[in-house]
């Protein structure tokens, strides 16, 4: 395995692991950024959904009525509030190409340390468009900063939800 097979990104979120796990999974469409940098297929909006439990799918629906959504991957481990693993394929992956994403939620003094590891990149050739020209350390930083942006969006949402609960506010 090369040093750039797996990219790990770790952040702290000021909510409990139970809240973090719930918000990261259930609210994925709310917090996951829109646009071509973050979503999978045109028009880069649509609906992202993570189906709960082992075997559940992470899907990107082009719109609410999409009956043939793009399947990013399938849940392999579902252990709330500690651990979640799902497979991960991009639309431009060949049929035999796949990667895996693992999320761990550990309690820390300030809330939860969320650690995401995206592994299996050794199986994606250097010239593959998913790499955007990056290999080795440059790819680790490229992918790492992308996941840092995505997790940062999840954190902002989780902490906003938490403060709504704390103050008894919210609209729903």
Partner 1 sequence: MTTGQVKPVPDGVHTVIAYLCLEGAAGAIDFYKKAFGATEKGARITDSTGRVGHAEIRIGDSTIMLADEHPELGFRSPLSLGGCPVLFMLNVPDVDAMVARAVSAGGQLTRPVENQFYGSRTGEITDPFGYRWYLSTHVEDVPEAELVRRAAEREKARRG
Q: Which residues in this chain contact partner 1 in the complex, by CB under 8 A?
A: 1-12, 119, 137, 140-141, 144-145, 147-148, 151-152
Alpha carbon separation from 112 to 62, 145, 165 (Å, rounded): 32, 20, 17
Backbone conformation region of residue 124, classed left if phi is above 0, alpha if psi is from -120 to 50, else beta: beta
Q: How far is the CB of 127 from partner 1 (least distance, A)?
A: 20
Nearest residue (CB) to partner 1, 20 versus 59: 20
Nearest residue (CB) to partner 1, 108 versus 165: 108
Nearest residue (CB) to partner 1, 5 versus 66: 5
Nearest residue (CB) to partner 1, 12 versus 164: 12
Q: How far is the CB of 14 from partner 1 (least distance, A)?
A: 12
Q: How far is the CB of 150 from partner 1 (least distance, A)?
A: 10
């Amino acid at each position: 395995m090369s040093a750039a097979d797996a990219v790990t990104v770790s952040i702290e979120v000021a909510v409990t692991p139970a809240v973090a796990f719930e918000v990261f999974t259930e609210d994925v469409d709310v917090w996951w950024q829109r646009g071509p940098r973050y979503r999978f297929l045109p028009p880069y909006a649509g609906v992202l959904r993570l189906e709960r439990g082992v075997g559940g799918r992470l899907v990107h629906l082009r719109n609410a009525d999409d009956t043939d959504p793009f399947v990013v991957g399938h849940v392999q481990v579902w252990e709330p509030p500690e651990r979640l693993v799902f497979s991960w394929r991009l639309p431009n992956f060949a049929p035999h190409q796949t990667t895996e994403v693992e999320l761990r939620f550990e309690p820390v003094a300030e809330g939860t340390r969320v650690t995401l590891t995206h592994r299996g990149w050794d199986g994606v050739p250097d010239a593959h468009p998913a790499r955007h020209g990056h290999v080795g350390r440059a790819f680790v930083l490229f992918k790492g900063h992308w996941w840092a942006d995505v997790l940062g969006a999840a954190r902002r949402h989780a902490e906003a939800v938490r403060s709504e609960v704390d103050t008894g506010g919210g609209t729903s």
